[in-house]
Each structure stands twice: as C-alpha cells, then as structure tokens.
C-alpha cells in the first residue's frame, strides 16, 4: 500500500477555498457509483504484463470493501476495462506512436477483448448486478472512450468514487473528466495505485486542491452508511 499523507499546502488551499476538509461529505449513497479503473490481469499479473503495478494487488481488499458498502447503501459498481482494438489504435494513433513497438505489442496482446490480460483480476468480487464497461482511452469519461457518462446519468448517479490503477494516468484522467462532466468526484487514496509513492501523492494532492475530494476507504464507508441512516430518518 502506498504511504500517503495529504500535504499541508493542499489542506490549506482546500480550507481557504471551500471552508471544510471534505466538500462531498453530504453525498447521497443511492446516487453514488463506484468506478473501478483497469484492475485487470494485464496491469497486475507478471505473466500478462512486463511491468505489473506492485501496489495494485494490495488495494483489492479495499476495493471489495467499498464495493460491498456502495451496493448495501443503494449505489452501484462499474468495472472499467482498458481495451485495445484496431479502431482505437487508428483513432488514437499519436499515443501509440509515442511508444516503443514492444510496448504497443504488449498493449495489444494483453488488452484485446478475450485476452487473459483483459480480464478483471480474479480476487475482485464482481457481482451480476454490477456493470462492466470497456474504455478505449485513459479517461473513462470521454465520449470517444466509453459510454460511462451516459450510463451514469441515465441511471441517476451524480457522485463517483474513483479507484483502480494507475493513479496518475487512467484514474486521474477519469477523475478530472468526471468532475468536468459535473459529477461529484472523490478519489480513494488507499484504493488507487501507482508505480511510485511520489506519483501517487502528487496526483492526489493536485486533485484534492482543486478538482474534488480525496478520502480513504474507511472514511467513505462511514459516510455512506451514516448518510443512508440520515436519509432513512428523514423519510420516516
């Protein structure tokens, strides 16, 4: 697990700008979606990856805990799968052109639909009521990447909890775009993983200071259950 403490400069900036540490502590659990980004064999299992994210497997228990709490309080879990096919290699050609041929080859062989690397990591608890969404860019919220934004809006979700890997690439891209699409957006500090503590920390601090909120798994579980009780009490 990453060793992470929010830096004081980010806390100070949030307090100055928002007046409270957690601006989204009033989230409605029934309108909350857990977004699990790219926790697939191709990023987590050496057999399917030349450079697996070492800390990703350590986040699996927290993702499962949070998924259970989101479902129990009325929300939904969306599993996002990094996917590579001929179409997105053509439409996103500048990205692939920046990479060495062997890296492009790994992306194709690991993340084509049906490849073992494309599968969700087996220790993650995916239930039939969850949704699985393929994405074709770093961010899951771009129209060219997936239909996640429309899925969430059509189903009435206004809040997203971002988990997965890699913190500073697909998770950060998705989180920033989610906020730009007007979702309340929270990155979960101990359910995201990067290739270094430094990259993980830099992303969370930058996101917290301007884009949205950052909380731990336990903090969010407590908020979900507390807000559900408040809602039940208010409705009698």
Within a domain: 178: yes
- The average confidence (pLDDT) of the chain is 93
Bridge partners of residue 36, in order along the sequence: 79, 163
Within a domain: 234: no
- How many distinct structural domains can be found in the chain? 1
Q: Is the pLDDT of residue 105 over 80?
A: no
The residue with greater pLDDT, 232 or 121, is 121
- Strands of the sheet with 76-82, listed across from one edge: 131-135, 76-82, 32-37, 159-165, 184-193, 213-215
Within a domain: 204: yes
Six-digit token string for 61? 């228990």
pLDDT in tens, 31-55: 999 999 999 999 999 888 877 899 9
Within a domain: 13: no
Within a domain: 2: no
Q: Is the pLDDT of residue 74 over 70?
A: yes
Q: Is the pLDDT of residue 102 over 80?
A: no
Distance CA 156, CA 57 (A): 31
Q: Can you say whether residue 7 is alpha, beta or left, with left for phi > 0 and alpha for psi between -120 and 50 degrees?
A: beta
Please answer whether residues 150 and 184 qualify as being in contact, where contact means their C-beta atoms are separated by less than 8 angstroms: no
Cα angle vertex 212, ends 211, 214, to 5°? 125
How many DSSP H helices and E strands does the chain contain?
10, 6
Q: Is 102 buried (19+), middle (13-18) or exposed (0-12) by CB count in 10 A?
A: exposed
Please give the C-alpha separations between residue 121 and each of 28, 43, 110, 211, in angstroms, as whole numbers.
29, 9, 13, 29
Distance CA 11, CA 56 (A): 26
Of residues 202, 126, 209, 116, the one with CA closest to residue 166? 202
By residue range, what is the domain housing residue 134?
26-227
For the chain, how long is the longest CA-to-CA vector? 62
pTM higher than 0.75: yes
Q: What is the CATH classification number for the domain harbouring 54?
A: 3.40.50.850
Within a domain: 50: yes
pLDDT in tens, 126-172: 999 999 999 999 999 999 999 999 999 999 999 999 999 999 999 99
pLDDT score for 1? 82
The residue written with tokens 């307090």 in the block is: 15
């Amino acid at each position: 697990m990453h060793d992470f403490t929010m830096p004081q400069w980010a806390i100070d900036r949030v307090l100055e700008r928002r007046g409270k540490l957690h601006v989204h502590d009033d989230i409605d659990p029934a309108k909350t979606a857990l977004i699990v980004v790219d926790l697939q064999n191709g990023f987590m299992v050496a057999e399917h990856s030349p450079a697996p994210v070492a800390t990703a497997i350590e986040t699996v228990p927290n993702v499962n805990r949070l998924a259970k709490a989101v479902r129990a309080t009325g929300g939904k879990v969306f599993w996002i799968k990094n996917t590579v096919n001929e179409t997105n290699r053509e439409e996103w050609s500048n990205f692939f052109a920046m990479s060495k041929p062997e890296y492009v080859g790994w992306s194709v062989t690991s993340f084509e639909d049906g490849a073992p690397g494309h599968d969700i990591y087996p220790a993650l608890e995916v239930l039939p009521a969850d949704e699985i969404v393929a994405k074709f860019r770093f961010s899951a919220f771009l129209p060219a990447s997936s239909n996640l934004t429309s899925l969430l809006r059509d189903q009435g979700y206004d809040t997203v909890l971002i988990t997965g890997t890699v913190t500073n690439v697909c998770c950060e891209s998705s989180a920033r775009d989610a906020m730009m699409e007007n979702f309340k957006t929270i990155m979960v500090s101990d359910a995201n993983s990067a290739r270094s503590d430094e990259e993980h920390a830099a992303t969370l601090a930058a996101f917290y200071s301007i884009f949205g909120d950052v909380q731990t798994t336990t903090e969010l579980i407590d908020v979900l259950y507390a807000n559900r009780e408040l809602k039940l009490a208010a409705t009698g």
